[in-house]
Amino acid sequence: MAYIDFVGKIHNQSKRDYKQRVLSFEKAACAKVAKKWDYDYWDGDRCYGYGGYNYDGRWRVVAEDMARHYGLKDGDRILDIGCGKGYLLYELSQILPGAVISGIDISKYAICNAKKEIKPFLKLHSSTDLPYPDNSQDFVVSITTLHNLQNFELFNSLKEIQRVCPSGKAHITVESYRNESEKANLLDWQLTCETFYTPEEWEWFFSIAGYKGDYGCIYFQ
pLDDT at 14: 85
| Conformation bin of residue 51: beta by default, left when phi > 0, alpha when psi is -120 to 50 | left
Answer for the pair 82, 143: CB distance below 8 angstroms, yes or no.
yes
Look up the pTM and report it: 0.96
Of 151, 201, 202, the C-alpha closest to 172 is: 202
> Do residues 215 and 1 lie in contact, with contact meaning Cβ atoms separated by under 8 Å?
yes
pLDDT of residue 112: 98
What burial class does residue 107 get, using C-beta atoms within 10 Å of its C-beta: 0-12 exposed, 13-18 middle, 19+ buried? Answer: buried
CB 176, CB 219: distance < 8 Å: yes
Q: What is the three-class DSSP state of 167?
A: coil
Integer-rounded Cα Rg, in Å, for the chain is 17
pLDDT at 19: 87
Domains and CATH numbers, the chain: 8-218 (3.40.50.150)
Amino acid sitting at position 148: N
Q: How far is 29 from 166, CA to CA, in rounded Å? A: 40
pLDDT value of position 13: 87
Partner residues linked to 62 by β-bridges: none
Q: How many CB atoms lie within 10 A of CB 114?
A: 24
Distance of alpha carbon 165 from alpha carbon 142, whole angstroms: 13
In SS3 terms, 15-57 reads as CCCHHHHHHCCCHHHHHHHHCCCCHHHHHCCHHHCCCCCCCCC
Per-residue pLDDT of the chain (221 residues; tens, 9 = 90+): 999 999 999 999 888 999 888 888 999 999 999 999 999 999 999 999 999 999 999 999 999 999 999 999 999 999 999 999 999 999 999 999 999 999 999 999 999 999 999 999 999 999 999 999 999 999 999 999 999 999 999 999 999 999 999 999 999 999 999 999 999 999 999 999 999 999 999 999 999 999 999 999 999 99
